[in-house]
Structure formats: structure tokens, C-alpha cells
Amino acid sequence: MAKWGETESGAQRQSIGTKIDTDLVPFELIVAAAVGLGLGEYKYAARNFEKGLSYRSLINSLERHCKSLKDGEYADPDTGIPHYMLIASSTAMLVHNIMQGVIIDDRAPPKTPQFSVAELSEIGQVELKAALEFWEAKKVKKDADSET
């Protein structure tokens, strides 16, 4: 006989300890996503996004709301909804569309990059270090010139 997961009471069930624990998703995330999705229901139709949306439209939405939030803007001026809630709803739509196979793939064709992301990050760090050294040398020279 197969061994099943067991509760504190001794009850056994095959799914105990073997299934994804959706309880790990904070309820606040569900509420936040529901606000943006509720506006979508009002504007278009309930669950309209399930028909399939494009990578670019969803990623552009995420990037716009992240940028606005990062720049200190709390709420979207077009809807009045806080950006973090629109990030949650855009993420929910993107994840749904990808996992259900209805995403419209309008991404640019894959490129054969000359450098990997890690290599590009290293190049960026080298350039930043050089810029900071240049800036410091310029500052030291300016300070020395002002003392004479």
C-alpha cells in the first residue's frame, strides 16, 4: 500500500505535502490584482484577458507602472489605481496567458547576443568604476586648483 501524507489527527491524504501550497500567496497580492482586473471587467468584460493578450502589451504595462512607482508616483493618473495594484494585475494576466498557452507572441525575434547578461553587467561595472574614478580625479583637481 502507498504511503500518504498524514495530518496531526492521523488522517491521511495523497495530496498532503505533495501539491503546491497556494496558501503561500499573500492575500494582499490577490486583492491588489483583483482591483486592476475589476477595472478590466468594468471596461471590457469579466476575464476578457483570458482570450489572449500579447507579450509586448503586458510587459509594456508592467514596465510603465514599475517606472512610475519607482519615480515616486503612487497612483496611475488615468485610473486612480495605485501602480503596485496595476503591477499585480498585469502580472496576473501575463502569467495566466503564458501558463494557459494563449499569449500572443509579438516579441522581437531572438537575437544571437554578442555578450551574455553577466558579461554586459561586468562591462557596465567596469564603465561605472572608470566614470567614478574620472569624477573623483576631476574633483581632486578642481579642489587643488581652488586652493591655489
Query: For each of the chain's 148 residues, which pLDDT tens digit applies?
Result: 456 677 778 777 766 667 788 888 999 999 999 999 999 999 999 999 999 999 999 999 999 999 999 999 999 999 999 999 999 999 999 999 999 999 999 999 988 889 999 999 999 999 999 999 999 999 888 888 888 7
Query: Alpha carbon 76 to chain centroid distance?
Result: 17
Dump the DSSP string for 39-100: HHHHHT-TTGGGG--BHHHHHHHHHHHHHHHHTT--B-TTT--BHHHHHHHHHHHHHHHHHT
What pTM did the predictor assign?
A: 0.70
Distances in Å between the Cα of 105 and the Cα atoms of 25, 30, 94, 137 are: 28, 26, 12, 49
**How far is the C-alpha of 43 from the C-alpha of 86, rounded, in Å?**
15
Residue 5's DSSP bridge partners are 13
